[in-house]
Amino acid sequence: MQSHNPTADHAIVAESLALQLGNTSAPVSILKGIDLVVPKGQTVALLGPSGSGKSSLMALLSGLERASGGRLHVAGEDFSELSEDGLARARRGRIGIVLQAFHLLPTMTALENVATPLELAGMDSPFDRASSELRAVGLDHRLDHYPSQLSGGEQQRVAIARALAPDPAILFADEPTGNLDSETGAQVVELLFDRRATIGATLFLITHDPALADRCERVLEMADGRIVSDRLSR
């Protein structure tokens, strides 16, 4: 008989997740036991004061950093069992990440910025796929432009296209509008939610903006390394 694996039904299952930094003689406890279950396809906003641990939690959940303790399953993979290399492989294609600073490679065009990770992940027709995702974010006329030739809003749209082109199970976004003016930020948010809905990815979004948080189905709040509030917003 096949055993039922509850972690496969969820995008994220974290149990007593902990993160300590600093050296062993003077460890600093950054995350102090996070328990969190996120169903597939849910949109989750993470709020909390500066220094409360939001980016650190996202770094663990997205596989950018390893936890110091606890268990973590993400998109059906046991992240707690993986080495750094294993995490990098597990992230590929499963997880998309959009950060406040767009992190595009300056020597590559918009098209190359989106296509190269697809190529590295061994996906078919990376350039066709990249240009179709860039078209979906309204940048078909900017494919051959370098990041320095694009506005902030356009650069963030390239970053969104890069994150979504592999069809990830989970999209993580850390203050994705933090470097944009409010009108451009609002357009980028529309696009992010629209594209996410089209591919059905789970969304995990860090924001300081309560209005943006309310667009998500669920709102978590952190304080001092812990989740202190967890509510459904609609």
Q: Binding residues for ligand ATP, per CB under 6 A?
A: 21-22, 28, 30, 48, 50-56
Q: If DSSP codes are grouped into helix, strand and coil, which group holds residue 179?
A: coil
Which CB sits closer to ligand ATP, 42 or 52? 52
CB of 119 to ligand ATP, least distance (A): 32
Q: Taking CA 37 as the corner, what is the angle to CA 19 and CA 225, rounded to the nearest 5 degrees?
A: 30
* Beta pairing, strands 218-223 & 43-47: parallel
**Cα(113)–Cα(210) distance, integer angstroms:** 32
Name the region of 76 (left: φ>0; alpha: ψ -120 to 50; beta: rest): left
Alpha carbon 173 to chain centroid, angstroms? 4
Of 108 and 223, the one with the shorter C-beta distance to ligand ATP is 223
CA distance 86 to 41: 24
Closest approach, Cβ 102 to ligand ATP, in A, equals 17
Contacts of 34 (CB under 8 A, 6+ apart): 14, 16, 17, 18, 57, 70, 226, 227
Q: Is the CB of 186 or the CB of 223 nearer to ligand ATP?
A: 223
d(CA 180, CA 189): 11
To ligand ATP, the closest distance from the beta carbon of 16 in angstroms equals: 18
Q: Least separation, in Å, of the C-beta of 5 and ligand ATP?
A: 30
Q: How far is the CB of 200 from ligand ATP (least distance, A)?
A: 27
> Cβ closer to ligand ATP: 57 or 110?
57
Q: Please, which residue, 52 or 202, has the CB nearer to ligand ATP?
A: 52
